[in-house]
C-alpha cells in the first residue's frame, strides 16, 4: 500500500483486540476469531492485536505471530489491520515487524520500548532501524505511562522527515499540548490516533485520524459511531457519545488494562475472563463496578445484577 493511500485508508475506530485465554492459560483461538467477527459486524473500522490490550509481554514470539496470522486470516481484507509489533527487545521488534509485512498487514504499530527507558537519540535510532528494514507503513505507539519515556515531538519530527513509511502515531499521552504540537511539527496529514479514551473526541477536533481505544473491546458500536458522527458533521451526536462513554471508559481503567475489559467481556459471554501472570483479575469491588456500569449502559440486562 502506497503511503499516501495508507494515510487515506487508516482512519476511524481501530479496536485493540484482547487476547483471550482458556481457563488453563492457552490462547483461545475460537473466542479470538469470534471477537474479531463481532468487531467487524459492530462497525469497527480496523483491528489491531498484540498491543497493550493484547498482553504482548505475556506471549511468546511464536504466539504473537500466531495471533497476528489468525487475525489477518479472519479479517480477510474487510477492514484494515495494524498489529502491534514492538517490544523491549530491538531484534524482536525487527522480527515481528518484518513478519507483519510478510503477512500483508496494512501497517505495523511499534511501541516506544517499555522498561528500558531509552534516551531520545536511542529512540530515534531504534525506530529508524526498524522503519528502514521494511516498506510497511509504521505507526509509532507513544505511551509514556507504560514505557516511562515520552517520545518528544522533536524526535518524532526527525523520524517523519527521515522515514517516509512512518505515517502516524498512537498517542496514549494525556498531555494535550504535546499532541497538538505533534500535528504542528509532523504535518497536518500525519495520522494522529488517540490512545487515551477521554481524548478520543478532542483529538478529532484538532485533526486526529481516529482512535485505538480499549473501550471498543466492550462497546464497539458506539465507539465507531463517535467517529462516524464526527466525519458526517454531526458534532452534537459525537459530543453526546463522548460523554455517554465516559463512565465505561473510567471503569475499564480502574485496574491495569486489559483486566477490567476481560472481566466485562466475560460477563458478556464473549470470553473466559483469564489473564496470564503477572497480571490478574481486578478486585471483587471493581468487578461489581464493571457489572453495574454495563447494566447502566444496557450492555448487560438488569437481571445480570448480583442480588
pLDDT at position 8, please? 87
Question: Can you tell me the mean pLDDT for 205-211?
Answer: 97
pLDDT-derived band of residue 306, with 50, 70 and 90 as boundaries?
low
Domains and CATH numbers, the chain: 3-232 (3.20.20.70)
- pLDDT above 70: residue 1: no
Across 1-5, average pLDDT: 80
Q: Residue 175 corresponds to which cell in the numbers above?
A: 498531555
- Rounded to whole angstroms, the Cα distance separating 160 from 188 reads 12
Confidence of residue 303 (pLDDT cuts 50, 70, 90): confident
Q: What is the pLDDT of residues 159-176, one digit of tens each?
A: 999 999 999 999 999 999
Split at pLDDT 50, 70, 90, the class of 304 is confident
pLDDT tens figures, 172-206: 999 999 999 999 999 999 999 999 999 999 999 99
Chain-wide mean pLDDT for the chain?
96
Banded model confidence at residue 290, pLDDT cuts 50, 70, 90: very high
Does residue 125 carry a pLDDT above 60? yes
Average pLDDT estimate for 62-88: 98
Reported as a pLDDT band with limits 50, 70 and 90, residue 5 is confident
Numbered residues of the known binding site for pyruvate? 53, 212
Confirm whether 65 is a catalytic residue. Answer: no
pLDDT tens sequence across 222-252? 999 999 999 999 999 999 999 999 999 999 9
Beta bridge mates, 194: 171, 211
pLDDT for 147 beyond 60? yes
For residue 2, the model assigns a pLDDT of 80
pLDDT in tens, 81-96: 999 999 999 999 999 9
Q: Which residues are annotated as a binding site?
A: 53, 212
Q: Which of 65, 170, 222, 274 is catalytic?
A: 170
- Interatomic CA distance for residues 96 and 83, integer angstroms: 9
Average pLDDT rounded to a whole number, residues 248-266:
98
Closest to 56 measured CA to CA, from 165, 129, 143: 143
Tell me if residue 141 is catalytic.
yes
Catalytic position from the list 141, 201, 227, 274: 141
Q: Using CA atoms, how far apart are residues 198 and 249, in angstroms rounded to an integer?
A: 7
Q: Which residues contact 165 (CB under 8 A, 6 or more apart)?
A: 3, 131, 134, 135, 136, 137, 138
CB 251 within 8 A of CB 285: no
Average of per-residue pLDDT across 9-17: 96
Q: What per-residue confidence (pLDDT) applies to 269?
A: 97
Whether residue 278 is preceded by a cis peptide bond, meaning omega within 30 degrees of 0, is yes
Amino acid at each position: 500500500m502506497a503511503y499516501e493511500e495508507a494515510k487515506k485508508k487508516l482512519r476511524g475506530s481501530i479496536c485493540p483486540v484482547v487476547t483471550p485465554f482458556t481457563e488453563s492459560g492457552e490462547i483461545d483461538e475460537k473466542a479470538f476469531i469470534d471477537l474479531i467477527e463481532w468487531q467487524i459486524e459492530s462497525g469497527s473500522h480496523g483491528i489491531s492485536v498484540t498491543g497493550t490490550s493484547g498482553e504482548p509481554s505475556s506471549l511468546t514470539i511464536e504466539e504473537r505471530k500466531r495471533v497476528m496470522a489468525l487475525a489477518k486470516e479472519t479479517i480477510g481484507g474487510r477492514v484494515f489491520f495494524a498489529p502491534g509489533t514492538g517490544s523491549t527487545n530491538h531484534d524482536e521488534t525487527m522480527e515481528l515487524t518484518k513478519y507483519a509485512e510478510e503477512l500483508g498487514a496494512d501497517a505495523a504499530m511499534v511501541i516506544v520500548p517499555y522498561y528500558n527507558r531509552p534516551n531520545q537519540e536511542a529512540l530515534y535510532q531504534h525506530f529508524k532501524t526498524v522503519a528502514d528494514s521494511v516498506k510497511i507503513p509504521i505507526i509509532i505507539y507513544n505511551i509514556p505511562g507504560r514505557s516511562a519515556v515520552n517520545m518528544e515531538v522533536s524526535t518524532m519530527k526527525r523520524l517523519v522527515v527521515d522515514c517516509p513509511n512512518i505515517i502516524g502515531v498512537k498517542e496514549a499521552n494525556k498531555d494535550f499540548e504535546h499532541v497538538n504540537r505533534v500535528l504542528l511539527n509532523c504535518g497536518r496529514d500525519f495520522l494522529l490516533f488517540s490512545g487515551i479514551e477521554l481524548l478520543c473526541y478532542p483529538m478529532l477536533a484538532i485533526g486526529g485520524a481516529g482512535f485505538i481505544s480499549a473501550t471498543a473491546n466492550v462497546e464497539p458500536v458506539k465507539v465507531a459511531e463517535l467517529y462516524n458522527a464526527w466525519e458526517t458533521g454531526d458534532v452534537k451526536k459525537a459530543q453526546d457519545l463522548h460523554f455517554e462513554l465516559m463512565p465505561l471508559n473510567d471503569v475499564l481503567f480502574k485496574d491495569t488494562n486489559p483486566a477490567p475489559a476481560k472481566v466485562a467481556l466475560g460477563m458478556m459471554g464473549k470470553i473466559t475472563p483469564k489473564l496470564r501472570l503477572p497480571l490478574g483479575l481486578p478486585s471483587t469491588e471493581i468487578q461489581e463496578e464493571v457489572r453495574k456500569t454495563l447494566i447502566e449502559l444496557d450492555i448487560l440486562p438488569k437481571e445480570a445484577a448480583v442480588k
